Chains A and B, each alone.
Chain A
Amino acid sequence: DVKVTQSSRYLVKRTGEKVFLECVQDMDHENMFWYRQDPGLGLRLIYFSYDVKMKEKGDIPEGYSVSREKKERFSLILESASTNQTSMYLCASREDRAHEQYFGPGTRLTVT
Chain B
Amino acid sequence: AQSVSQHNHHVILSEAASLELGCNYSYGGTVNLFWYVQYPGQHLQLLLKYFSGDPLVKGIKGFEAEFIKSKFSFNLRKPSVQWSDTAEYFCAVNARAAGNKLTFGGGTRVLVKP
**B51, closest chain A residue (CB):** A99
Give the docked Cα–Cα distance between A90 and B90 (Å): 14
> Within the complex, what minimum Cβ distance (angstroms) separates A1 from chain B?
12
Selected from A43, A56, A100, A105, the residue in CB contact (under 8 A) with B104 is A43
Q: At the interface, yes or no: A31 with Cβ under 8 Å from chain B?
A: yes
In the assembled complex, the Cα of A105 lies from the Cα of B46 at a distance in Å of 14
Chain B residues packing against A (C-beta within 8 Å): 4, 6, 9, 32, 34, 36, 42-46, 49, 51, 90, 92, 94, 100-107
Closest-CB distance, B48 to chain A (whole angstroms): 11
Decide: A58 near B101, CB < 8 A? Known: A42-B90, A100-B46, A100-B49: yes
B interface majority secondary structure? strand
Instruction: Across the interface, name the chain B residue whose C-beta is closest to A44.
Output: B104
Residues of chain A within 8 A (CB-CB) of B49 are 99-100
Q: List residues 13-41 of chain A with CB under 8 A from any CB of chain B.
A: 31, 33, 35, 39-41
When A48-B100, A103-B44 are in contact, do A42 and B106 touch as well, CB less than 8 Å? yes
With a cutoff of 8 Å between Cβ atoms, the chain A residues found around residue B100 in the complex are 31, 33, 48, 50, 56, 94
CB of A104 within 8 A of chain B?
yes
- Measured between C-beta atoms, what is the minimum distance from B69 to chain A in Å? 18
**Is the CB–CB distance between B104 and A99 below 8 Å?**
no
Which residues of chain A are within 8 angstroms of B4 by Cβ–Cβ distance? 42
Q: Chain B's nearest CB lies how many Å from the CB of A107? A: 12
Q: A41-B106, A42-B107, A48-B100 are in contact. List 13 more A-B contacts (CB 8 A).
A: A33-B100, A39-B107, A40-B106, A42-B106, A43-B90, A43-B104, A45-B102, A45-B103, A99-B49, A100-B49, A103-B36, A103-B43, A105-B43
